[in-house]
Structure 1
Amino acid sequence: MHHGKVSFLWDAGSGLTRLEYPSVRINNDKWHRINATRFGRHGTLTVQQTDSEPLPAVKTTASGSSTIMDVNKSTWVFVGGLGAQVKKPPAVKMTHFRGCIGEASLNENNIGLWNYAERQGECGGCFM
């Protein structure tokens, strides 16, 4: 998040690309469905408040020629913030998330939000 809006950042090796959904603020105490997709150099972001009609996706194409992110069993995935051991890249504005995350997935596989290797801070869960 950056100023209440969703930002999708990635770097596949050719430099950072940022895609921000321009018109929807998600810090309004409502549930939202966020879908960030990257395939090769192309990124797509959709944000929908769950009690509203779907809005159009925003898209961008990264510069450079790198297209592959090496995600394997030893890759760390951070949900809701960055671990203390991770140096924050300058483009990342927030290192923690305040709110509720109902579910998350990577490569169409659910990330078990209650099945984690490490945890920092307190979380009592949140329910719709």
Structure 2
Amino acid sequence: MRGAFTQDKPIYVQVRERLEDQILNNQLKEEEKAPSTNQLVDFYKINHATVTKGINPLVEEGILYKKRGIGMFVAVGGKEKLKEKRKLSFMEDYVVKLVQEADKLEIEENEIIQLIKKVKGRDQNDH
């Protein structure tokens, strides 16, 4: 878990996204205990209601589940649900805009793919 929050989105969204990232990065595995609301409140030094507002959607989506008196756990299939949700969001936030801009510039699909491969290759060489 990281500390400081950014100003670009509400804190509860950032709390949710950090938990999601931990699941996607295998820091939190399926059937593993997730940090409690109180632990998150103490760690981030934020309001209990803010943490709850961030966690509740993950429970509603079946990514986390609560065991009464024990805590919150990552659900079986939770990581896969998150991946699908994030892929859809990625498409809506990035791919749609990329294709729209490519259409304006009359860039063909195969050229877009070559540009993506070029960028990915550059990123891999940086590591």
Give TM-score, length-normalised by structure 1. Answer: 0.28
Greater helix percent: which structure? 2
Give TM-score, length-normalised by structure 2. Answer: 0.28
